[in-house]
Chain A
Amino acid sequence: MATSKTPYACIGLAVTLLVWGSVWGLFYAPAETYMGDVQRIMYAHVPTAWNAMLALSFAFLCALMSLWRSEMAWDNRLEAALEVGVVLSALLCMQGAIWAKPTWGVWWDWDPRLTTTAVMVFAFGAILALRQFVEDPVKRATWSAVATVIAFADVPIVYFSVRWWNSLHQLQSSPETVSKAFHWPLRINAFGILFLMIGLISLRTRVAALRREEELAPPLPETAPRRAPIAEGARS
């Protein structure tokens, strides 16, 4: 198993970028014309959204590779990407609720973007729960890969929901839809969460691999047979 320091380097770089981007976004970037200072939530919310979708897209790739190659290494990566993706997606919903209250007047609304995001969190969360209930590692790998491929259908729906339906949520944030004054803190935080996601997925993959190693090892005998001590004179 790889024991390189790369995940720690990624996490260290991520922390540096996130502190830099957040300080810029909170104290140096201008306030938005209509939303005022509340818009500063964007520097945390949008990078979380991009990377949550990226993590779940990586989970989809791992699921396909797991089904195609039938290698446990892909299942380990799938487990890691699913967990990181679900944590980022749940965090995304919380940040969104905090931003929604001062701008929309409510913490939550059954708007297409919010509803499809909630479905995404629960669908991928359910796959993680499913993995806990299946003891056979081969069945677990196959079932969770198939479920991931099915659940992934919701990810592009989440992304395009603001274009396809009449939504309270603004359009996707991109260099075309965000003023230039907001670009740099947004970019820095986006790379910060990207490196954090890479570091966390790498470390979580190692945890999954170690657990798999434990599962696949033969059980230890209850009482190991003891060898008779060798008498000193009998050695030669």
Chain B
Amino acid sequence: MNTGVIQGGWEFVWAAYAVTATILTGYGLSIFSRYRAALRRRSAAGPGVTR
């Protein structure tokens, strides 16, 4: 009988948390790598030179 109560559904819960963790971690790492690359480019240009 349909009770109006959702049964199970853990696969959706895990999917939501997995998507959240993947996107936030991936985006965080992308910012970090862009920051490191920008710092490397600046230090490669030498002191006092910003290009």
Contact = CB atoms under 8 A, between A and B. Distances in A.
A26 B14 CA distance: 9
A102 B35 contact: no
Contact of B20 (A95, A203, A216): A95
Contacts, number: 92
Contacts of A41: 12-13, 16-17
A87 interface: yes
Contacts of A200: 27-28, 31
Nearest to A101: B12
Interface residues of A, number: 39
A108 to B, nearest CB: 15
Contacts of A219: 51
Interface size, B (range): 20 to 34
29 contacts: A26-B17, A33-B5, A34-B4, A34-B6, A36-B5, A38-B6, A38-B13, A41-B12, A41-B17, A48-B20, A91-B19, A95-B16, A98-B16, A102-B12, A196-B24, A200-B28, A206-B35, A207-B35, A207-B38, A210-B35, A210-B39, A210-B42, A214-B38, A214-B50, A216-B50, A217-B49, A217-B50, A217-B51, A219-B51
Interface of B: 4-10, 12-13, 15-17, 19-20, 23-24, 27-28, 31-32, 34-35, 38-39, 41-42, 49-51
Interface of A: 11, 22, 26, 33-38, 40-41, 44-45, 48, 87, 90-91, 94-95, 98-99, 101-103, 196, 200, 203-204, 206-207, 210-211, 213-214, 216-220
